[in-house]
């Protein structure tokens, strides 16, 4: 399997992508195809692995660029090269930690949408108390229509059934209350549509149940999904920081914290974004995973494993099958 | 000072409102005016306080009722009686833990909006690492226009300057990224308007900074603000629960946790919704505070103190002054 790795866009630079791919190759056999500055990448690899390819470019699309315009004009930008290459036989998928807008625009203009899907979306796996919940969309579509949310639901169902083996997953709508009449225009319209859809729709879910595992898929507008996921991230970081202060407050606290340290670290580890590492861009005809901009080596490795699982399970074919 | 207390609508029933008011009277001199079932309320007071009034009714508006319709038709519903009474000389404000929709509808149809304000909003004080941040709106308006958000910003500014003594508060817009071009239709339009407004507008803020104190006011659509606040609430509860599991995991953990217990309790207490207890409904001509449906006695007491402070500082007059 050959995975195209966009080496631009991570906050920590190319190193984290190269190191993540090298770590991943120890866990699963695949060929990383690094797209970026050849000399720099060779230097970072430093002979640690033999099986890899490099597609040289020093151009890329940043968060400040207009995504649609750049995808069309910057023909040698790393993400454009990745999407073009992914259309060739023998290249299986793309990993990028760069601009979400560019990734989405590339998906729409180069890979193209799956027939019957109006919008692609980012499906982020949330670590919950029990199992996994897929939050979709988490940032690809800023102004959604009810119909998009229904399509997200169908794609989420296929993804969970195939990649995670969850049978007839429970699909819920993120809303401000559980009652059917609650919410804004979009959520009321979506509720009406989802009720009639070929889905195991369990109704509205409140944001306080984001990580309690009550639903397998939580549907949201990309704006709202992003607010939810970033709020969760912020609070986890805040609590971890505040706990650290408590632990260092006095000598007796330090000693007590020493005993609890590993268990608490494990606990927070369970809710760390690094565990999953990335999210599939569902709805386009290429296998694409988006890693966080601030991903570390562990996150990149886990994202690559997730991407390869997504490819192995032929999820795009199955989504197409579901829509016929 | 006389405060009208709607005794219907709290998850825990009338008791929590009566007990909260009694606890509060020990901290500040005021007359609670309980609206609800006279016999039941007398029984709950059980002679513990002498200074109080009761307005008898057994009718109320629940979360399942249509708010606007019910406000107009249920003339003897507790919240309708509260709003009517608040227009009389000598009654200073309203506290309710009931339906947000009914509280808002009552504000619009009975108390009426402040001239120049298109929508009333709930301004929730968030406990941050440094000081307080006001998140507005947290659930009164489901589909906002940019202009409403600008008005929320002006009201937030007056509230913070007067009630909390924060000079020229920093106002930010909740968004999916910090760059000006980020977000949905509403956030782009709001950004353009806020840039030109008579406010100390500091730009976009991401949800991960909800509690880091980077801004004094965070503006959001009522839907998004509600998603953010409930996500935060859910994660805090989840982490507290998971920590408890760690603490009970083994005998050595139990002993270590015993040492840290009080400091950790204090830490979580700082971020508890009970600390503030309620949020003002800004934009209407009555002084109104909304307490959480699941409020406890401490939260009700704190909400009453917050309401009385809001009244003492004559914030409504000052908002009217700002808009002339």
Q: What is the pLDDT, as a whole number, of residue A323?
A: 81
| Helix (DSSP H) and strand (DSSP E) numbers for chain A | 11, 11
Distances from the Cα of A99 to the Cαs of A14, A166, B152, B182, in angstroms?
15, 31, 32, 12
Q: Report the DSSP beta bridge partners of residue B59.
A: B77
Interface of A with B in 145-174 (CB under 8 A): 174
B25 pLDDT higher than 90: yes
Q: Which secondary-structure segment (H or E) carries A306? A: helix A297-312
Q: What is the pLDDT, as a whole number, of residue B2?
A: 98
Q: What is the pLDDT, as a whole number, of residue B146?
A: 97
Q: What is the pLDDT, as a whole number, of residue B215?
A: 96
CATH number at residue B206: 3.40.718.10
- Residue B202 tokens read as 């500091």
Question: What ipTM was assigned to the predicted interfaces of this complex?
Answer: 0.92
Distances from the Cα of A307 to the Cαs of A9, A302, A312, B221, in angstroms?
18, 9, 9, 35
- Residue B106 tokens read as 């009552």
- Which of A139, A211, A234, A247 should we substitute to test contact with B (largest number of B Cβ atoms within 10 Å)? A234
Beta strands in chain A (DSSP E): 2-6, 31-36, 53-56, 93-96, 121-127, 132-136, 170-175, 200-206, 217-219, 278-282, 288-291
What region does A272 belong to: left with phi over 0, alpha with psi -120 to 50, or beta?
beta
Whole-number Å distance between alpha carbons of A37 and A28: 25
Query: What is the DSSP annotation of A147-183?
Result: HHHHHHHHHHHHHHHHHS--SS-EEEEEESSSSTT-S
Nearest C-alpha neighbor of B293 from the set A177, A204, A191: A177
A273 pLDDT higher than 80: no
Report the gap between the CA of A146 and the closest CA in chain B (Å).
15
Q: What is the pLDDT, as a whole number, of residue A276?
A: 82
- What are the tens digits of pLDDT across the range A53-107? 999 999 999 988 999 999 999 999 999 999 999 999 999 999 999 999 999 999 9
Kindly state whether residues B9 and B150 are assigned to the same domain: no
Task: Return mean pLDDT, chain A.
Answer: 94
Kindly state whether residues A132 and A262 are assigned to the same domain: yes
Nearest C-alpha neighbor of A228 from the set B121, B233, B271: B233
Kindly state whether residues A27 and A92 are assigned to the same domain: yes
Q: What is the pLDDT, as a whole number, of residue B64?
A: 86
SS3 state at B179: coil
8 Å CB contact between B239 and A236: yes
Report the gap between the CA of B310 and the closest CA in chain A (Å).
27
Kindly state whether residues B138 and B96 are assigned to the same domain: no
Kindly state whether residues B301 and B250 are assigned to the same domain: no
Contact between chains at B243 and A264 (C-beta distance less than 8 A): yes
B51 pLDDT higher than 90: yes
Task: Return mean pLDDT, chain B.
Answer: 94
Report the gap between the CA of B173 and the closest CA in chain A (Å).
12
Kindly state whether residues B263 and B288 are assigned to the same domain: no
Structure confidence at residue B274 as a pLDDT band (50, 70, 90): confident
Whole-number Å distance between alpha carbons of A266 and B288: 45
Q: What is the pLDDT, as a whole number, of residue A128?
A: 85
pTM: 0.93
Percent pLDDT > 90 in chain B is 90
Kindly state whether residues B110 and B126 are assigned to the same domain: no
Q: What is the pLDDT, as a whole number, of residue A270?
A: 85
Q: What is the pLDDT, as a whole number, of residue B124?
A: 94
Kindly state whether residues A130 and A236 are assigned to the same domain: yes
C-alpha distance across the termini of chain B, in Å: 28
- Residue A155 tokens read as 């794609």
8 Å CB contact between A80 and A106: yes
- B241 Cβ neighbours under 8 A, 6+ residues apart: none
CB contact B68 to A (< 8 Å): no
Interface of A with B in 27-66 (CB under 8 A): 63-64, 66
Q: What is the pLDDT, as a whole number, of residue A131?
A: 78
- Dihedral angle of Cα A141, A145, A149, A155, to the nearest 10 degrees: -70
Q: What is the pLDDT, as a whole number, of residue A47?
A: 95
- Which of B119, B172, B239, B245 should we substitute to test contact with A (largest number of A Cβ atoms within 10 Å)? B239
Average pLDDT of span A36-47: 97
Q: At what angle do helices B146-163 and B185-196 cross, to 10 degrees?
A: 50
CB-nearest partner of B183 from A63, A142, A176: A142
A-B contacts at Cβ under 8 angstroms: 163
Contact between chains at A231 and B228 (C-beta distance less than 8 A): yes
Contact between chains at A227 and B226 (C-beta distance less than 8 A): no
Average pLDDT of span B213-241: 95
Interface of A with B in 110-149 (CB under 8 A): 129, 139, 142-143
Whole-number Å distance between alpha carbons of B18 and B3: 12
Distances from the Cα of B125 to the Cαs of B156, B271, B274, B306, in angstroms?
10, 11, 11, 10
- What are the tens digits of pLDDT across the range A163-215? 989 999 999 999 999 989 899 999 999 999 999 999 999 999 999 999 999 99
Average pLDDT of span B169-184: 94
Residue B216 sits at φ, ψ, to 5 deg, of -90, -30
Range of the domain at B195: 121-276
Residue A260 sits at φ, ψ, to 5 deg, of -90, -15
- A88 Cβ neighbours under 8 A, 6+ residues apart: none
Radius of gyration of chain A (CA): 20
8 Å CB contact between A33 and A95: no
Whole-number Å distance between alpha carbons of A173 and A153: 9
Report the gap between the CA of A321 and the closest CA in chain B (Å).
32
Kindly state whether residues A110 and A4 are assigned to the same domain: yes
Whole-number Å distance between alpha carbons of A13 and A293: 9
Kindly state whether residues A21 and A107 are assigned to the same domain: yes
Give the count of domains, chain B.
2
A271 pLDDT higher than 90: no
Taking CB atoms and an 8 Å cutoff, what residues of chain B touch A221?
184
Residue A125 sits at φ, ψ, to 5 deg, of -75, 120
Contact between chains at A207 and B255 (C-beta distance less than 8 A): no
Sheet of B217-219: strand order equals B53-56, B31-36, B2-6, B93-96, B288-291, B278-282, B121-127, B132-136, B217-219, B170-175, B200-206
Q: What is the DSSP letter of B114?
A: P
Kindly state whether residues A153 and A219 are assigned to the same domain: yes
* Helix, strand, coil percent content, chain A, rounded in steps of 5: 50, 20, 35
- What are the tens digits of pLDDT across the range A151-168? 999 999 999 999 989 999
Q: What is the pLDDT, as a whole number, of residue B80?
A: 98
Kindly state whether residues B82 and B130 are assigned to the same domain: no
Residue B189: exposure state from Cβ atoms within 10 A (0-12, 13-18, ≥19)? middle
Stretch among A20-24, A142-146, A258-262, B130-134 having the lowest mean pLDDT: B130-134
Beta strands in B141-287 (DSSP E): 170-175, 200-206, 217-219, 278-282
């Amino acid at each position: 399997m050959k995975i195209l790795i966009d080496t631009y866009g991570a906050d920590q630079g190319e190193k984290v992508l190269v190191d993540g791919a090298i770590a991943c190759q120890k866990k699963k056999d695949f060929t990383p195809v690094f797209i970026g500055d050849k000399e720099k990448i060779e230097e970072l690899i430093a002979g640690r692995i033999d099986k890899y390819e490099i597609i040289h470019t020093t151009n890329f699309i940043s968060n400040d660029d207009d995504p649609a315009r750049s995808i069309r004009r910057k023909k040698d930008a790393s993400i454009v090269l990745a999407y073009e290459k992914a259309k060739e036989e023998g290249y299986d998928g793309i990993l990028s930690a760069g601009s979400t807008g560019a990734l989405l625009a590339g998906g729409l203009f180069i890979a193209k949408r799956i027939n019957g899907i109006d919008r692609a979306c980012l499906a982020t796996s949330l670590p919950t108390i029990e199992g996994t919940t897929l939050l979709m969309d988490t940032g690809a579509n800023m102004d959604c229509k009810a119909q998009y949310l229904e399509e997200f639901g169908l794609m989420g169902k296929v993804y969970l059934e195939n990649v995670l083996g969850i049978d007839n997953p429970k699909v819920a709508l993120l809303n401000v209350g559980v009652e059917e009449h609650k919410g804004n225009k979009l959520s009321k319209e979506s509720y009406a549509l989802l009720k009639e859809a070929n889905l195991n729709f369990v109704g509205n879910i409140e944001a306080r149940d984001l990580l309690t595992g009550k639903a397998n898929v939580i549907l949201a507008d990309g704006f709202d999904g992003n607010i939810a996921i970033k709020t969760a991230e912020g609070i986890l970081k805040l609590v971890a920081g505040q706990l650290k202060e408590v632990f260092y407050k006095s000598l007796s606290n330090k000693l007590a914290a020493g005993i609890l340290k590993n268990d608490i670290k494990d606990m927070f580890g369970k809710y760390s974004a690094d565990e999953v590492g990335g999210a599939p861009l569902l709805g386009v005809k290429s296998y694409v995973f988006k890693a966080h901009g601030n991903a570390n080596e562990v996150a990149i490795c886990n994202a690559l494993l997730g991407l390869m699982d997504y490819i192995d399970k032929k999820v795009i074919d199955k989504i197409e099958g579901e829509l016929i």
